[in-house]
Amino acid sequence: MRQLAISALLFHCLLTVPALAQTPPNKMPADQAREEHAYAIGIQTAIWGRPFVDNVHTLYAGLKAGAVGLNYFRKFPNLKTAADKFVNTPNNVSIDGYACADLGSEPVVIRVPTLSQSRWYIVQIGDYYDQVVYNIGGSKGPEPGLFLLTGPDFHGAIPSGIKQIKVRTQLGVIANRVFVNGDADLPAAREVQAGFLALPLSVFEKQGLRFEVPNQYEYARFELKPTAPEALRMFETIGFGMKTFLSRSDDFGDADVAAAHRIGLSVANGFDWQSLDEPTKRGLARAATTATAIIEDTYANAAENVRGWRYTMGGGRAGFDYALRAAMAANLTGANVPEEILYPNTRVDDQGAALSGANKYVLQFDKDKIPPVSVFWNLNMYDEKEFFIENEFKRYSIGSTTDGLKKGGDGSITIYIQKDNPGPDKQSNWLPAPAVNFNLTMRLYGAQTPILDGSYRLPGVKRVP
């Protein structure tokens, strides 16, 4: 009882003498507190919303240039086309078709044909968080049939005989690729490509698969016309992306969207920067700079580097790793999951020196070190901006499907990478280089387990006399 009495007395003293109970904390001015609060939320939101920044610009540019169709495929039936000027790191082993599905208006039907002969194809379905939703075909083989893309607000019936693919954003990305083995194979590949269709559900229900693709698409509503100060432009673009890509229900049901409300962002209104006080604006300006640095650092450290080749395995499914998702969207927009298409790339030789057309190089695969893929592999030559480099030989890539590719007597494959023609005995294995610096991307279609688990890695690019 005595111990309880003493404890009660001490407690009473603490209550009656506050100075003995605690030391008052140093106070932060209210303006600084608001700035720091905006800074903290701004970093989180800028990293979460970075895929919208890249996709807002890419979507509008693609629609305006005619490289992307709205609810219908815009197809490119040649190995090198105007699309190469729109899509960086292009390839010339497939003919492609691109579409944006406006799922906020209505579902979109995709038709995949039954092929009479074996030929690789893939229809990559993605959302505007730059994540892969579903791959039709690809490494798992043919998948003919009808598919229905539906958005987050769709609650209607699915027509009989159609497989539903749910997309969590109001717009969906559709990319169709059909393999083509050089110019001689183009007519057959075009015939196959013609069988891949995309169209609005209402058109399908009224006309079936006999329909006319509109000559023009309305794309003005996808254009961002900035009004915010330059320092806040990132958040303005994120806000425009939220209005364009997300469901209004996300304002009430998505935790990341709810957090963004505190800094003037919402699906309903985009970025209401005019309503923000000056401390909040200062915090957001700082946050944009910091978030950009975090994203750049994440990308720099996201890859495994082996003999000069960078392997990034987070393509298409970084999910809730927002920094990685942002880094991939900023640098490899539209990347597929690695088991479908993996893109190791290098700008240096096996000694770490920059690749330059002033030198000669070889990439040699021993018989038991040829890339283990279920489909094919293809090595691409790009300039500093990731576009094809024109050359008189008209070869922009080389790989397992290249006509005339020669193996050595021991079963090895040597690729000659240089500016000048190496001569008739090596020409079949020559990948022309420019006179200046360049970089290489290896495309691995259907990467098998040794690639995915890291037990197989490409040989380094060797400089030779």
Residue 369 is part of a domain; what is its CATH number?
2.60.120.600
- Give the residue carrying structure tokens 């200062």: 282
Q: What per-residue confidence (pLDDT) applies to 27?
A: 84
Long-range contacts of 244-250 (CB under 8 A, 24+ apart): 244/52, 244/56, 244/128, 244/170, 244/171, 245/52, 245/55, 245/128, 245/169, 245/170, 245/171, 246/169, 246/170, 247/104, 247/151, 247/152, 247/153, 247/169, 247/170, 249/152, 249/153, 250/152
Question: Is the pLDDT assigned to residue 83 strictly greater than 70?
Answer: no
Pair 151, 40 in one domain: no
Taking the C-alpha atoms of residue 414 and residue 412, their distance in angstroms, rounded to an integer, is 7
Closest listed residue to residue 324, CA positions, set 41, 130, 125: 130
pLDDT > 90 fraction of the chain, expressed in percent and rounded: 84
Q: For the ranges 17-31, 255-269, 289-303, 349-363, which has the lowest average pLDDT?
A: 17-31
Q: What per-residue confidence (pLDDT) applies to 21?
A: 43
The pairing of beta strand 265-266 with beta strand 413-418 = unpaired
How large is the average pLDDT for residues 52-58? 96
Please report whether residue 5 resides in a domain.
no
Which helix or strand (DSSP H or E) is residue 298 part of?
Answer: helix 278-300
Please report whether residue 9 resides in a domain.
no
**Is 210 in contact with 159 (CB distance < 8 Å)?**
no
Pair 50, 117 in one domain: no
CA dihedral 400, 404, 408, 412 (to 10 degrees): 0
How large is the average pLDDT for residues 41-60? 97
Question: Is the pLDDT assigned to residue 12 strictly greater than 70?
Answer: no
Burial class (CB in 10 A: 0-12, 13-18, 19+), 448: middle
DSSP for 232-248 reads GHHHHHHHHHHHHHS-T
CATH number for 53: 1.10.3360
Q: What per-residue confidence (pLDDT) applies to 7?
A: 41
**Structural domain for 99, as ranges:** 67-207
Pair 245, 337 in one domain: no
Q: What per-residue confidence (pLDDT) applies to 386?
A: 83
What's the predicted TM-score (pTM) here? Answer: 0.89
Helix (H, G, I), strand (E, B) or coil at 458: coil
The total domain count for the chain is 3
- Domain final position from 207, 239, 259: 207
CA dihedral 353, 455, 446, 389 (to 10 degrees): 0
Question: Is the pLDDT assigned to residue 130 strictly greater than 70?
Answer: yes
Pair 396, 324 in one domain: yes
- Which residues of 295-371 form beta strands (DSSP E)? 304-306, 309-311, 341-342, 345-346, 360-365
User: Measured in Å, how far apart are the chain's first and last C-alpha atoms?
Assistant: 95
- Give the residue carrying structure tokens 């209401």: 272
pLDDT classification of 279: cutoffs 50, 70, 90 = very high
pLDDT classification of 387: cutoffs 50, 70, 90 = confident
Pair 381, 405 in one domain: yes
Q: Give the 3-state DSSP-derived string for 140-208, with helices as H, strands as E and coil as C.
A: HCCCCEEEEEECCCCCCCCCCCEEEEECCCCEEEEEEEEECCCHHHHHHHHHHHCCCEEEEHHHHHHHC
Question: Is the pLDDT assigned to residue 6 strictly greater than 70?
Answer: no
- In this structure, the chain runs to a length of 465
Pair 201, 71 in one domain: yes
pLDDT classification of 3: cutoffs 50, 70, 90 = very low
**Is 431 in contact with 361 (CB distance < 8 Å)?**
no
Question: Is the pLDDT assigned to residue 87 strictly greater than 90?
Answer: no
pLDDT classification of 79: cutoffs 50, 70, 90 = low
Pair 398, 453 in one domain: yes
Query: What is the overall mean pLDDT for the chain?
Result: 91
Closest listed residue to residue 422, CA positions, set 378, 464, 367, 364: 464
- Domain final position from 259, 278, 300: 300
- Domain final position from 272, 300, 328: 300
Contacts of 41 by beta carbon, 8 Å cutoff, 6+ apart: 259, 260, 262, 263, 287
**What pLDDT digit, counting tens, does each position of 27-49 carry?**
899 999 999 999 999 999 999 99
Question: Is the pLDDT assigned to residue 86 strictly greater than 70?
Answer: no
Contacts of 143 by beta carbon, 8 Å cutoff, 6+ apart: 112, 136, 137
**Is 127 in contact with 150 (CB distance < 8 Å)?**
no
Pair 53, 71 in one domain: no
Pair 260, 318 in one domain: no
Pair 323, 421 in one domain: yes
The rounded radius of gyration (Å) of the Cα atoms in the chain is 27
